[in-house]
C-alpha cells in the first residue's frame, strides 16, 4: 500500500526542502538549449531535467501541454519522464488542469491517478469551475490510491478574478468556497490531507482564510514571474509552513548543463527553506 499523499509530500519536503521545479519545455526554451523543437529535443530536455533534479528536489511539475504538443511521441516522453522521477523518489505533480463531469472526469482520473496507468503521477492539478463536486471522481480515486489533487483556487493570470473573486449572495468568494470544500475533504487527515490548492505567489494580499485547509498549497510564480520570499509572507501569512513555492524559468534558464540546473534549483530551494519550513 502506498502511503497517503499528505504524508509523502510532508516527508519529501522535510528531506529535500520546500520547492517544486516546473518542467516547461516550450519551444523557445528548447531552442535556447540548442535542441530541435521536436520529440527528440523534448526527450533530451526531459532526461536532462531528470538527471538534474531526480533525488535532489522534493517535487517536480511537468506541464503536460508542452509534451502533448508533440503528439503521441511527446506523450511517450512524458510517460518516461514520470517513471524516471518516481523511480528516483522525486514526487511528480503533473500539471494537467483537467476539469469535467461524470464519466469524462472519471476517465481523466483513471489516466492520471489510476494504478497501472503509464501517465499516473503522485498528484495532478485540476480545475473546479464546473463545480467542486464535479471533481469527485479524481478526489476519490486519488485518496484510494495514495495520490493527491491540487485544486485551482486563486491564480495569478489577469483573467482569473472574473470568476475566482466573484462573490455569492453571502459575500463569500468563489476562491474561498474552493478552499472550504478542500478543507472539508482533508478534515481529520494527518499530517495533511490529499487535497491541495493552487494559489499564485503573485496575487498579493487576499482575504482567503486558509487556516483550516490541512493540505499543501502550491504557489506558482516564485522567481522569474516576480514573487519573492516577502510576497510569500504577504499572500500566505500563518499558512506559509504548508506552502510549496514553484519555480520554472529562473531554474531552466541555466540549462542545458545538468549540473548548472541542479545548482540553480538548490540555490532557489535554499533561499526559500528557512522562511517556509
Q: Could you identify the residue written with the cell 506541464?
A: 63
Nearest residue to 176 (alpha-carbon basis) of 214, 213, 148, 205: 213
CA 144 to each of CA 2, 109, 110, 116, 239: distance values in angstroms, whole numbers, following the listed order: 9, 12, 12, 14, 26
Helix orientation angle between 258-276 and 229-236, rounded to the nearest 10 degrees: 40
Say which of 61, 97, 212, 241 is annotated catalytic.
97
97 is known as an active-site residue: yes
* C-alpha dihedral sign at 96, 94, 233, 207: positive
d(CA 167, CA 165): 6
| CA 200 to chain CA mean position, Å | 11
- Residue 88 CB burial class (10 angstroms; 0-12, 13-18, ≥19): middle
d(CA 95, CA 173): 24
d(CA 198, CA 151): 6
All three cell numbers of 227, joined, read 514573487
Residues labelled as active-site residues? 97
Amino acid at each position: 500500500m502506498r502511503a497517503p499523499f499528505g504524508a509523502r509530500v510532508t516527508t519529501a519536503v522535510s528531506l529535500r526542502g520546500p520547492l517544486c521545479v516546473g518542467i516547461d519545455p516550450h519551444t523557445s526554451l528548447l531552442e535556447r538549449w540548442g535542441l530541435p523543437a521536436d520529440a527528440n529535443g523534448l526527450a533530451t530536455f526531459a532526461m536532462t531535467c531528470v538527471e538534474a533534479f531526480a533525488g535532489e528536489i522534493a517535487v517536480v511539475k511537468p506541464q503536460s501541454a508542452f509534451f502533448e504538443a508533440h503528439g503521441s511521441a511527446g506523450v511517450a516522453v512524458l510517460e518516461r519522464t514520470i517513471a524516471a522521477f518516481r523511480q528516483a523518489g522525486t514526487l511528480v505533480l503533473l500539471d494537467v488542469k483537467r476539469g469535467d463531469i461524470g464519466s469524462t472526469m472519471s476517465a481523466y482520473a483513471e489516466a492520471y491517478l489510476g494504478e497501472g496507468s503509464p501517465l499516473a503521477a503522485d498528484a495532478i492539478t485540476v480545475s473546479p469551475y464546473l463545480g467542486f463536486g464535479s471533481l469527485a471522481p479524481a478526489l476519490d480515486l486519488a485518496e484510494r490510491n495514495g495520490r493527491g489533487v491540487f485544486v485551482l483556487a486563486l491564480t495569478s493570470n489577469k483573467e482569473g478574478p472574473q470568476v475566482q473573486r466573484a462573490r455569492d449572495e453571502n459575500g463569500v468568494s468563489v476562491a474561498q468556497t474552493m478552499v472550504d470544500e478542500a478543507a472539508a475533504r482533508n478534515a481529520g487527515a494527518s499530517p495533511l490531507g490529499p487535497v491541495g490548492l493552487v494559489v499564485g505567489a503573485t496575487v498579493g494580499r487576499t482575504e482567503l482564510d486558509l487556516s483550516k485547509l490541512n493540505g499543501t498549497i502550491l504557489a506558482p510564480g516564485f522567481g522569474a514571474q516576480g514573487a519573492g520570499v516577502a510576497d510569500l509572507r504577504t499572500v500566505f501569512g500563518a499558512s506559509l509552513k504548508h506552502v510549496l513555492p514553484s519555480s520554472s524559468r529562473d531554474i531552466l534558464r541555466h540549462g542545458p548543463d545538468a549540473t548548472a540546473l541542479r545548482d540553480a534549483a538548490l540555490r532557489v530551494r535554499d533561499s526559500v527553506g528557512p522562511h517556509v519550513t
